[in-house]
């Protein structure tokens, strides 16, 4: 059986040309961008282009892009650096309880340092309760965070509305958005969202792993997490990873240019997937109908997701049971939605790219049905 890869939220296959660009930067334009000689200038020019490509993909200026090692570092820099820079103004922080761990864990660290953290639960559908989120904000709130596309159930948050309403109650707060699962898939710009910082990651859109970026709106102050050289305005000092940044720049530009066409194709895959799921007794969808078509979260109550994952894997069908960073832990997102234990313990996340096919979806459901026939049901229903 041919390999069926349906875990694209965890990571995507690296685009061949993006990989070639990275190799080219390692073998030819390998200079340090901070060096004053010709090799350094060549590397700096390539890095400048990559910065402009990522900036164009999210609708900001090149000077507002800080390259990082990925989405996790970008989230940490925005949240830790943003909170510490505003400590004298207040101590309250508001975020969704369904954020990615790279947002929740830095926030819990801040809470341990004396900040007041308020986590807002979602609606039962998984969607953001805008009124509850805004109600949690007060004049003491210095930081608010909400991801644009939830990485487990695909919910799309009304970021522009949240940012606007939150600032009415606390004009000086920093609004951070995790845009990792949105870039190249959902049409947006940081200007239209009205956010102060936004994180993105390369390996979610066919760039190599180990590179991401943080948008920092001009005039927004963050304290750095690292100290050393003066690279990237001192916000992220250290020699830039030019090969990966340039591969990311290419991938971001390509994804932005193909976003509309790819989204239309994936919407067709999503509709096909939902229709197929409805024909398999015992399967239920956890993602709401309003979710991004790139993510489908479903459950087969009575069959533990870890067991089913390995059954699917034996047939070279690859999905996940939630965020890859959770390493199989029970989903805090589905728990926050109030789903029954049986649905949570049996959840599978299927995530697409435009390269997937309806034939792969057919194989997934064929093998899933086989698993439901052969595997021993768990006691959690």
Tell me how crowded residue 222 is: count the other CB atoms within 10 A of its CB.
25
Residues 180 and 319 in one domain: no
Question: Are both 243 and 311 inside the same structural domain?
Answer: no
Over residues 31-83, the pLDDT tens digits come to 989 889 998 899 999 999 999 999 999 999 999 999 999 999 999 999 999 99
pLDDT band at 378 (very low <50, low <70, confident <90, very high): low
**Does 325 qualify as catalytic in the annotation?**
yes
Boundary (domain end) residue, out of 211, 241, 257: 257
- Interacting residues of 57 by C-beta distance below 8 A, sequence separation 6+: 183, 184, 252, 253, 255, 256
Last residue of a domain, one of 220, 241, 257: 257
pLDDT digits (tens, 9 = 90+) for 283-311: 999 999 999 999 999 999 999 999 999 99
Do 190 and 289 sit in the same domain of this protein? no
Based on the domain organization, do 48 and 163 belong to the same domain? Answer: yes
Which residues does 113 contact at the CB level (< 8 Å), separation at least 6? none
The answer to the question of residue 133 being in a domain is yes
Looking up residue 330, the CATH number of its domain turns out to be 3.90.1150.10
Confidence of residue 380 (pLDDT cuts 50, 70, 90): low
- pLDDT tens digits, residue range 162-213? 999 999 999 999 999 999 999 999 999 999 999 999 999 999 999 999 999 9
- Contact criterion met (CB below 8 Å) for 190 and 212: no
For residues 111 and 117, is the Cβ–Cβ distance under 8 A?
A: yes
Beta strands in 51-194 (DSSP E): 65-68, 92-96, 116-120, 141-145, 174-178
Do residue 281 and residue 306 come from a single domain?
yes
Q: How many domains does the chain have?
A: 2
Is 326's pLDDT higher than 90?
no
Residues of the domain holding 232: 16-257
**Other C-beta atoms lying within 10 Å of the C-beta of residue 166:** 23
The domain boundary residue, chosen from 224, 257, 290: 257
């Amino acid at each position: 059986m041919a390999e069926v890869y349906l875990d694209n939220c965890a990571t995507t296959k690296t685009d061949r040309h993006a990989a070639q660009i990275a190799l080219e930067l390692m073998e030819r334009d390998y200079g340090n961008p901070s060096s004053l000689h010709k090799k350094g200038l060549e590397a700096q020019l390539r890095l400048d282009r990559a910065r402009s490509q990522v900036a164009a993909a999210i609708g900001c200026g090149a000077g507002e892009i800080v390259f990082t090692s990925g989405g996790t570092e970008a989230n940490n820099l925005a949240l830790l650096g943003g909170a510490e820079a505003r400590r004298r103004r207040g101590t309250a922080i508001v975020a969704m309880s369904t954020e990615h761990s790279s947002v929740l864990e830095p926030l819990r660290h801040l809470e341990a340092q004396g900040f007041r953290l308020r986590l807002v639960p979602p609606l039962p559908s998984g969607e953001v309760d805008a009124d509850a989120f805004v109600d949690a904000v007060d004049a003491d709130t210095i930081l608010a965070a909400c991801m644009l596309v939830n990485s487990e159930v695909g919910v799309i948050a009304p970021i522009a509305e949240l940012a606007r309403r939150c600032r009415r109650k606390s004009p000086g707060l920093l609004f951070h958005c995790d845009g990792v699962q949105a870039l190249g898939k959902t049409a947006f710009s940081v200007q239209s969202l009205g956010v102060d910082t936004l994180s993105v990651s390369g390996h979610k859109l066919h760039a190599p792993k180990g590179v991401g970026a943080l948008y920092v709106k001009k005039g927004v102050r963050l304290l750095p997490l690292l100290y050393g050289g003066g690279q990237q305005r001192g916000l992220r000092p250290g020699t830039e990873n030019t090969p990966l940044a340039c591969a990311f720049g290419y991938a971001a530009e390509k994804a932005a240019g193909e976003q509309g066409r790819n989204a239309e194709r994936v919407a067709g895959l999503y509709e096909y997937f939902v229709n197929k799921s409805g024909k398999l007794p015992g399967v239920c969808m956890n993602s709401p109908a309003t979710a991004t078509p790139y993510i489908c979260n479903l459950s087969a109550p009575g069959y533990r997701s870890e067991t089913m994952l390995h059954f699917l894997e034996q047939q070279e069908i690859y999905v996940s049971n939630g965020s890859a960073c959770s390493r199989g832990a029970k989903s805090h997102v589905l728990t926050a939605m109030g789903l029954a234990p049986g649905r949570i313990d049996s959840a599978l996340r299927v995530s697409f790219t435009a390269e997937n096919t309806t034939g792969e979806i057919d194989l997934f459901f064929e093998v899933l049905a086989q698993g439901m026939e052969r595997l021993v049901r768990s006691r959690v229903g």
